[in-house]
């Protein structure tokens, strides 16, 4: 199948009942003079561009165990992928997937959209955006006004991709007026951050944020701390910062990993920046002042932190220093939460619950409440069912993409924290149907789940379990200001 885009013709390949177009450039390569600069429109090409293979992904640590590990890493990574059954008289809703990975890893190829296209009548788009230092390094204080927005280049990439969707998705059978943005983890944080950015206004109709909100937006002071640490790892003085414009990208990533390997100070290295230009200095306040915001489906999982605790030995016992690394100036509030939970729960459960609550739940509640105040509809969920580590981080994605497969070796796979047992097949089907209903109709209510009220009026939450139910109010006993992360 050949499609005409604003830059030229693209040729896709047939796959699992749909067509996929991989590696379509949505912006110019951010190299040379464009490094650390906002994205620009892609150059046009002549002839038909072969889009059978994924394009290069953003520079990052090369994990040989990751999905599709052999993809090329490049600064020329601003490309996207489209799955569709083809042009249509009745345009279909569009889902734009923003990958997670802590703002330092991941790729648009992490999720296959063929089922959405072939089974769910959705045009599915996934994208790459700049990561780590190349996407979120704040340089305004040391390189001047020309780089004042550099801390949000990764977000500006996403916005540029959404502009591409508005201009081109109709040719693929998609409806530019019915675009849903969906993200998990850091992808959910990017999705939530779009609500704070005027540049994103009108580019999507609604959004789904799975385990992430605006809690990773950093203030400029904190962002500058990361910049200083990266310069130190590169052996550069602040007055030598202009060398960042010319150093090989691999060298930047190596320095980034060096800083990240220091467990005493490695979290919240990267993410969006409240620079007062692209993102307001008080993001949540700016949302409350807006009107006519896109509806939001948002939620978290009961045991978000268990996966991090399982894999990170530094998190496996309560420690005040760990909380300083995770929460900066808010560490004492989190320790107080842990202490209170310890009065009624085993220490390990109290620790996991306190971390889950302050890393994810409270940020989710704050964003939901800010959007609800404007009168825009919010639906909230809490996933209670889980695997060997409970409803751990990312488990909702495992359910939504679950497919029954009798050939699976359950004895081997059951040790995987994200493995879904056959007993959860009905829940998995219900969740996927609710998400798809939201994409199609702007409302997640379906017949096989209880009536799902909006969060706005009674703070109602859909508790997703083998037997799902609605609970009023998920507000934790202790709050914490997550509007902007500060060191």
pLDDT tens for each residue of 251-279:
999 999 888 754 444 456 899 999 999 99
Task: Supply the DSSP symbol for 357.
Answer: I
The answer to whether 304 is a known catalytic residue is yes
CA-to-CA distance for 101 and 271, rounded, in angstroms?
11
In a domain, 295, yes or no: no
The pLDDT value recorded for residue 485 is 46
pLDDT tens for each residue of 69-108:
678 999 999 999 999 999 988 999 999 999 999 999 999 9
The answer to whether 46 is a known catalytic residue is no
The pLDDT value recorded for residue 283 is 96
State the catalytic residue, choosing from 304, 324, 357, 396.
Answer: 304
Domain that holds residue 135: 1-184+217-281
State the catalytic residue, choosing from 393, 430, 460, 468.
Answer: 393
The pLDDT value recorded for residue 398 is 95
In a domain, 93, yes or no: yes
Task: Supply the DSSP symbol for 355.
Answer: H
Q: Return mean pLDDT, the chain.
A: 92
Report the CATH number that the domain containing residue 235 is assigned in CATH.
3.40.50.1820
The pLDDT value recorded for residue 168 is 98
CA-to-CA distance for 143 and 270, rounded, in angstroms?
18
Number of domains observed in the structure of the chain: 1
- For residue 479, pLDDT over 70 is answered with no
In a domain, 345, yes or no: no
In a domain, 249, yes or no: yes
The answer to whether 393 is a known catalytic residue is yes
In a domain, 358, yes or no: no
In a domain, 442, yes or no: no
The pLDDT value recorded for residue 454 is 97
pLDDT tens for each residue of 359-380:
999 999 999 999 999 999 999 9
State the catalytic residue, choosing from 7, 18, 126, 185.
Answer: 185
In a domain, 8, yes or no: yes
In a domain, 78, yes or no: yes
CA-to-CA distance for 106 and 440, rounded, in angstroms?
27
CA-to-CA distance for 380 and 367, rounded, in angstroms?
11
Contact between residue 104 and residue 63 where contact means Cβ atoms under 8 Å apart: no
């Amino acid at each position: 199948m050949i499609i005409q885009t604003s830059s030229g013709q693209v040729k896709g390949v047939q796959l699992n009942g749909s067509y996929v177009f991989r590696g379509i450039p949505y912006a110019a390569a951010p190299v040379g003079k464009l490094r650390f600069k906002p994205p620009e429109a892609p150059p046009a090409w002549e002839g038909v561009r072969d889009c059978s293979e994924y394009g290069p992904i953003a520079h990052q640590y090369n994990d040989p165990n990751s999905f599709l590990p052999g993809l090329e890493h490049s600064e020329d990574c601003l490309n996207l992928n489209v799955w569709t059954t083809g042009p249509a008289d009745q345009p279909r809703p569009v889902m734009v997937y923003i990958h997670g990975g802590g703002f330092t890893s991941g790729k648009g190829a992490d999720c296959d959209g063929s089922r959405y296209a072939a089974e769910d009548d959705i045009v599915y788009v996934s994208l790459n955006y700049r990561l780590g230092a190349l996407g979120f390094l704040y340089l305004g204080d040391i390189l001047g006004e020309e780089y004042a927005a550099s801390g949000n280049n990764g977000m500006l990439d996403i916005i540029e991709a959404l502009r591409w969707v508005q201009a081109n998705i109709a040719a693929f059978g998609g409806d530019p007026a019915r675009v849903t943005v969906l993200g998990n983890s850091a992808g959910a944080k990017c999705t939530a951050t779009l609500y704070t950015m005027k540049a994103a206004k009108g580019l999507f109709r609604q959004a789904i944020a799975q385990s992430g909100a605006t809690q990773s937006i950093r203030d400029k002071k904190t962002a500058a701390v990361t910049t200083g640490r990266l310069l130190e790892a590169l052996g550069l003085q602040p007055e030598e910062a202009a060398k960042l414009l010319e150093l090989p990208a691999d060298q930047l990533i190596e320095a980034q990993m060096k800083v990240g390997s220091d467990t005493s100070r490695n979290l919240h290295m990267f993410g969006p920046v409240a620079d007062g230009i692209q993102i307001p200095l008080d993001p949540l306040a700016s949302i409350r002042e807006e009107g006519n915001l896109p509806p939001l489906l948002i939620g978290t999982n009961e045991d978000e932190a268990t996966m991090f605790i399982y894999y990170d030995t530094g998190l496996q016992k309560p420690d005040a220093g760990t909380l300083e690394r995770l929460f900066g100036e808010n560490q004492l509030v989190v320790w107080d939460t842990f202490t209170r939970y310890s009065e009624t729960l085993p220490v390990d459960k109290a620790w996991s619950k306190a971390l889950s609550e302050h890393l994810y739940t409270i940020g989710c509640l704050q964003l939901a409440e800010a959007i609800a105040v404007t009168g825009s509809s919010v639906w909230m969920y809490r996933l209670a069912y889980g695997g060997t580590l409970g409803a751990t981080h990312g488990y909702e994605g495992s359910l939504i993409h679950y497919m029954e497969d009798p050939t699976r070796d359950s004895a081997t796979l059951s040790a995987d924290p994200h493995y879904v047992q056959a007993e959860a097949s009905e829940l998995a089907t219900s969740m996927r149907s609710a998400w798809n209903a939201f994409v199609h109709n702007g409302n997640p209510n379906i017949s096989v789940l209880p009536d799902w009220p909006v969060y706005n009026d009674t703070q109602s939450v859909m508790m997703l379990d083998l037997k799902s139910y609605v609970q009023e109010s998920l507000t934790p006993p202790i709050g914490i200001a997550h509007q902007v992360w500060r060191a």
